[in-house]
Amino acid sequence: QVQLKESGPGLVQPSRTLSLTCTVSGFSLTSYGVSWVRQPPGKGLEWIAAIWSGGSTDYNSALKSRLSISRDTSKSQVLLKMNSLQTEDTAMYFCARLRGGPYVMDAWGQGASVTVSS
């Protein structure tokens, strides 16, 4: 079955770089795109970035200068890097499969909690 699982450091110091990995199973990254979405504690959802099945990428313009999304199809992994982290980047970070229309996310991982603190 379709599964996505996020992994990351949990705690990151301010101004450092966050690296998150989304490991997928049950589908191929060359057939489906993957997005990252985050949710600060008690707040709403914010789309971060996407990598499409053909390898092209898209970023939230508000965060673009700090972001990099890539993939390793041999490992079924999508990687997200965000630099210059601040306390407002504290959030749950989700990866999700794209299907059913552009930017429609039909399967989600459980999320990776990221706290930015010294």
Partner 1 sequence: DIQMTQSPASLSASLGETVTIECLASEDIYSNLAWYQQKPGKSPQLLIYYANSLNDGVPSRFSGSGSGTQYSLKINSLQSEDVSIYFCQQNYDSPPTFGGGTKLELK
Burial class for 31, CB neighbours closer than 10 Å (0-12, 13-18, 19+): exposed
Site string for partner 1, 31-70 (x = CB under 8 A): ------x------xxxx----------x-xxx--------
CA dist., res. 8 & res. 112, Å (int): 6
Closer Cβ to partner 1, 10 or 101, answer by number = 101
Cβ–Cβ under 8 Å, residues 116 and 85: yes
83 is a contact residue toward partner 1 (CB under 8 A):
no
- Considering only residues 41, 74, 101, 118, which one is a binding residue for partner 1 as defined by CB under 8 A? 101
Residue 42 burial (CB count, 10 A):
5
For binding to partner 1 (CB under 8 A), which residues are involved? 37, 44-47, 58, 60-62, 94, 96, 100-111
